[in-house]
Amino acid sequence: MKRRQWKPEEKLMIVLEGMKNTVALAQLCSRHQISQSQYYNWRDRLLKDGAKLFENGGPDKQVERLEKKNKKLTHLVGELTIELKKTDELLEQW
């Protein structure tokens, strides 16, 4: 039997629905064809990692900072490469 691939949005929707306690967990899991242990794994992961969304401006800010740092380092590597080529040319002239 082929394993079903769940999108992150689907997992979140199922876990939030289960946390509302509007339907029995067994019924929820049956409807979505998942085991209760799978539900608990998803729920525990959400509770464990959910706080990261609120850290340091969230994932989008972290990505922005990393992209800015990457750009700065790439520029620095370019400048150093140019300087190295200039030095090599000067050494060749000697």
User: What is the separation of C-alpha 22 from the centre of its chain, rounded to a whole number of angstroms?
Assistant: 30
d(CA 89, CA 87) in angstroms, rounded, equals 5
Is 0.95 topped by the overall pTM?
no
Any residues with CB less than 8 A from the CB of 12 and at least 6 apart, and which? Answer: 46
d(CA 28, CA 33) in angstroms, rounded, equals 8
DSSP 54-85: GGGGHHHHHHHHHHHHHHHHHHHHHHHHHHHH
Tens-digit pLDDT profile for residues 9-40? 999 999 999 999 999 999 999 999 999 999 99
Tens-digit pLDDT profile for residues 36-89? 999 999 999 999 988 877 776 666 777 888 999 999 999 999 999 999 999 988
1 has pLDDT over 60: no
> What are 37's two structure tokens?
């242990």
Q: In which band, very low, low, confident or very high, does the pLDDT at 4 lie, cut at 50, 70 and 90?
A: confident
